Structure 1
Amino acid sequence: MPHGSIVESPKREAQLGRDDLRHILVVDDDPMVCMAIEVYLQRNNFRVTIAEGGEAGLRALEDKQFDLMIIDIFMPHMRGFESIRIFHEQAPVIPLIAMSGHAFANLNSPAPDFLRMALELGAARCLRKPFTPDALLAAINDCLAEHRPRSDVATAVQLG
């Protein structure tokens, strides 16, 4: 996949119908990470759009509706937390999961705690790479439960 590509996965949406699936935007510059997340999320009945890099992710965000974003903190063409800040500003109501392989400060290093900083910039959850599929699914489900669309909340109030 060329840098800056956007790929939407048609497999599961063809089986279940577009409206039945929660739509997740995955933005990472590593094609292997994107592929692994895409396969796992499809198997768990999510519709997935992959954007290779921050610029492609922003284009996808302009063109499509998403229920959740999974964004790598450090990517080429976007400096560090710029990606988290920009994505959160562009779509503040869409929950954002930040992920990074450069995650935590430790006592022997003066490096900052990048994932804590991502939370301060608007991420709803953070994942340190490598993470388990179960950790990814738990973070997604938590975010989707906490950030239900207003129409779902109104329906729940009317029914309750």
Structure 2
Amino acid sequence: MPHGSIIESPKREAHAGTESLRHILVVDDDPMVCMAIEIYLQRNNFRVTIAEGGEAGLRALEHEQFDLMIIDIFMPHMRGFESIRIFHDGAPAVPLIAMSGYAFANLNSPAPDFLRMALELGAARCLRKPFTPHALLVAINDCLAEHRPDGDIASVARLG
């Protein structure tokens, strides 16, 4: 039996054109983290697919197109940074925000800096848990602005 489940947020019928909403994949093994992120993103007009664990996230990636991925670095059945590399390789054009609640390197510790390592493996941004809803939204908006498909056209238009 596969671990984790995929939960697509219900489409809001009152919202005309829900297909135009930016679609975000959230992959985390903690259901409370998933629920909090899903509620916050829905309130900020994003379409959200929740995958409880790495395997469920990879299945979602096979069947859906996403504008952004938010991936937990350390989950069961995934060996640490394997998740970042696999998700980035699976959808290299989709920006990825890595998140982790593990301890991070500081001046008094020889421990690796997990967030820096995630950036080197392809993450566009990193968030340390716990993070504020505002920090999440800023990271998402920055990633979406940087990876806008029409970004080249807009920059050419500004030059003219």
TM-score normalised by length of structure 1: 0.91
Partner of 1:128: 128
Contact 1:71-1:97 within 8 A present in 2 as well: yes
* Greater helix proportion: 1
Letter in 1 for 2:54: G
Deviation at 1:10, TM superposition (A): 1.2
Partner of 1:10: 10
Deviation at 1:154, TM superposition (A): 5.6
Q: How does 1:100-139 map to 2 (within 5 A)?
A: 100-139=100-139
Deviation at 1:14, TM superposition (A): 5.6
Distance 1:10 1:131, change over 3 A: same
Q: How does 1:64-75 map to 2 (within 5 A)?
A: 64-75=64-75
Q: How does 1:9-158 map to 2 (within 5 A)?
A: 9-12=9-12, 15-149=15-149, 152-153=150-151, 156=154
Paired-residue identity, %: 85
Q: Out of 111-120 and 9-18, give the one that drifted further.
A: 9-18
Specify the SS of the correspondent of 1:97. Answer: strand
Structure 1 residue runs of 5 or longer lacking an equivalent are none
Contact 1:51-1:57 within 8 A present in 2 as well: yes
Which whole-Å CA distance do the structure 2 matches of 1:23 and 1:103 have between them? 30
Which whole-Å CA distance do the structure 1 matches of 2:14 and 2:28 have between them? 25
Letter in 2 for 1:57: G
Deviations 1:104-135 (CA, angstroms, capped at 9, x unpaired) = 21233221110110000000000000000000
Which whole-Å CA distance do the structure 2 matches of 1:56 and 1:14 have between them? 29
Distance 1:14 1:159, change over 3 A: farther
Tell me the number of residue pairs that the alignment of Structure 1 and Structure 2 aligns.
Answer: 157
Structure 2 residue runs of 5 or longer lacking an equivalent are none
